[in-house]
Structure 1
Amino acid sequence: MERQSYKRKIYLEDKPRSEAVKELLEAFDLPIHTELIPTSNSLGRVTAEPIFAEVSVPHYHASAMDGIAVKAEQTYTAHEQRPVRLTLGEQFVYVDTGNAIPAQFDAVIMIEHVDIIDEMTIEIIEPATPWQHIRPIGEDITQEEMLFPQGHTLRPADLGVLLAAKTLEVPVTKTGCNHHSDWE
């Protein structure tokens, strides 16, 4: 009996990883169709590119407490034994949490630490320090900071971040595009 030699078929080939990854990515290199939509309508949509903040948040020096804005230097001598009296308009203004701090002032004293003498005069017994209870510009978000990367699905909280940073329109991937026709 004559023996026939058997030749095996080899279906797999070794290929360098980098070449295989490149081929795979090229096979799925589908064009991304984008549209620019109002941020308020973007819930659940996917970002088509990185999104950057248009402005800093806060975009002004803001009070972190309800109280009075003062010049810290004018309060340094305040003590229980020697209270300091300040005059409305000249030496202090009332501020609520989130209010802008007028340029001439550099500290906030909590309203709980203020004794109101009359409509124009208050008294304090503790000194303030510069930038006390003030949120500086950009404390939460800095202008041009990346908020979300490409491919991020926007959630309710994300829309709040975008709107706070004055990003009123976002580029998102179009929904309903028929990519399957590109595969055929």
Structure 2
Amino acid sequence: MIEAGAATNADWATARTLAYGAGRPLPFQTVPLADALGQTLAEPVHALQSIPHYASSAMDGWAVNGAPPWTLVSRPEPEHPRGRATPHSDSGEVSLAPGEATFILTGGVVPQNTVGILRTERGAVRGGMLDRNDSARPDEPSPGEHVRPAGEEAEEGSLAIPAGVVLNPAQIALAAVCGHDTLAVLRAPRVSLLMTGDEVIEHGLPHAGQVRDTFGPQLPGFVAMLGGHVDVAGRAKDDLDDVVAAISGEPTDEFSLARASGDVLITTGGTGSSMADHIRRALMEVGAEMIIDGIAMRPGHPTLLARLPDGRFLVGLPGNPLAAMMAMITVAGPLLAGLRGSSLEEPSPVVTADAFDPLPGRSRLVPYRLESGRAVPSTHQRSGMLRGLAAADGVMVVPAEGCRAGDPVQALSLPWAPPGGPRA
């Protein structure tokens, strides 16, 4: 059924908000640290113990207490070959009396009552006694010098990594230092792709009336850039029954989505209202809840978002390549962000280098190159063209009333564009 409450011909900003709000965060999963890189942290990471969890030496040398010369003493507890305490030793049992020193390696457990660490190159040993050499300062070591205090980096229980961040290698290393073996991360939304269009060929040069497939080669990667993962992709005939079966997960002669336990189904083409377009009618056949029925933008007006009876979302992309990609950044991107529990990217202003006439009732999405601090509209930006987007740094959202050259307009970055400015 097409719900009466569906947003028909929604404005661009409303469409993005609706798509984002529809995607409630998916349950998180627990993964080993080695598998967490690039995933979104679902729960904050706290230090399970102080970091470092014992006072350690920052240098090879001697732990000393009192004024020189110091009497060299052996450390009474069993030691690791590198001078670090064994798992069974207790640094609290090791203590230096005034005037005593003991050899220590970098990372070794600092005995109690240690004033500081005298570096190896600053000391001289004669007859079981340690003293400063001529290169040492008169006050070396000063109190706490070359000692890494317990808890210097983080106290036990303190927040180390907030939830919601996309984990980088340094954060994974920090989680390990905090004592974690696994992390709770948001599951990447699983996406199925259903391409339509009997005129589409996947290889070679098309004849008159045929077109090359632009979706199959790029949509899986595009989805991945938006935070999703494509489980299965295939094609349905331009036939209502075939499309209904594919959307419902029933096997067809060409393709079956039955094995895909996805969260989102993305379809390509067939979102218009002509007799040759079947997606909207198929949604009515299966009893889908329509969320967005068309967006007041160009290109990409016949974009659809619906919730299927089994709980999956369907994003209906227009058949024209540029229009479809504008639909991806307008609807699919916000939906996947909502499912991942990520924040919705807010548009940022750019200064347009060109004027745009009014386009009553519709926003205009314009790929642009950033040149000398201004957004220069790309050439070849009709709905069926890709050259302009392929060379773009972002997409301007020109309001329906148009704008003048030099005016600020809202813009979105492209997931593949380099951060911080245009390409060389």
Pairwise same-fold verdict (TM > 0.5): yes
- What whole-Å deviation, never above 9, does each CA across 1:20-49 have from its counterpart, x for those lacking one? 8xx848833513221112223222221112
Matched, 1:172 2:185: yes
Answer whether contact 1:35 1:171 (CA < 8 A) is retained.
yes
Secondary structure of 2:121's aligned partner: helix
Tell me the distance in 2 between the aligned counterparts of 1:143 and 1:25: 40
Corresponding residue for 1:86? 70
More contact order relative to length (CA 8 Å, sep ≥ 6)? 1
Tell me the distance in 1 between the aligned counterparts of 2:34 and 2:62: 36
Give the structure-1-normalised TM-score. 0.71
Tell me the CA shift for residue 104 of structure 1: 3.3
Matched, 1:102 2:108: no
Answer whether contact 1:30 1:182 (CA < 8 A) is retained.
no
Corresponding residue for 2:61? 67
Secondary structure of 2:34's aligned partner: helix
Answer whether contact 1:53 1:142 (CA < 8 A) is retained.
yes
Match of 1:121 among 120, 129, 139: 129
Change (3 A) 1:61 1:151: same
Change (3 A) 1:30 1:179: farther
Give the structure-2-normalised TM-score. 0.33
Corresponding residue for 2:324? none
For structure 1, which segment, 36-45 or 158-167, has the greater mean C-alpha deviation from structure 2 after superposition? 36-45
Tell me the CA shift for residue 142 of structure 1: 2.6
Match of 1:140 among 135, 147, 153: 153
Q: Which structure 1 segments of 5+ residues have no match?
A: 1-10, 13-19, 76-83
Matched, 1:51 2:34: no
Secondary structure of 2:174's aligned partner: helix
Change (3 A) 1:27 1:159: closer
Kindly tell me the number of residue pairs found equivalent between the two proteins. Answer: 157
Secondary structure of 2:69's aligned partner: strand
- What whole-Å deviation, never above 9, does each CA across 1:108-142 have from its counterpart, x for those lacking one? 11111101214x32222633332122111122223
Tell me the CA shift for residue 69 of structure 1: 0.3
Matched, 1:152 2:141: no
Secondary structure of 1:122's aligned partner: strand
Tell me the distance in 2 between the aligned counterparts of 1:26 and 1:112: 62
Tell me the distance in 2 between the aligned counterparts of 1:25 and 1:131: 56
* Structure 1 vs Structure 2 CA RMSD: 2.8
- What whole-Å deviation, never above 9, does each CA across 1:143-174 have from its counterpart, x for those lacking one? 22222222212122221111111122110112
For 2:101, give the aligned amino acid: F
Tell me the distance in 1 between the aligned counterparts of 2:26 and 2:115: 49
Change (3 A) 1:24 1:146: farther
Tell me the distance in 2 between the aligned counterparts of 1:43 and 1:59: 25
Tell me the distance in 2 between the aligned counterparts of 1:112 and 1:92: 15
Tell me the distance in 2 between the aligned counterparts of 1:151 and 1:36: 15
Tell me the distance in 2 between the aligned counterparts of 1:67 and 1:107: 10
For 1:132, give the aligned amino acid: E
Secondary structure of 1:47's aligned partner: coil
Answer whether contact 1:30 1:179 (CA < 8 A) is retained.
no
**Sequence identity (%):** 25
Q: Which structure 2 segments of 5+ residues have no match?
A: 1-8, 74-96, 191-261, 265-310, 315-424
Secondary structure of 1:147's aligned partner: strand
Corresponding residue for 1:34? 28
Corresponding residue for 1:161? 174
Tell me the distance in 2 between the aligned counterparts of 1:182 and 1:142: 44
Show structure 1 runs of 4+ deviating over 6 A. none
For 1:95, give the aligned amino acid: I
Tell me the distance in 1 between the aligned counterparts of 2:103 and 2:151: 23
Tell me the CA shift for residue 175 of structure 1: 3.2
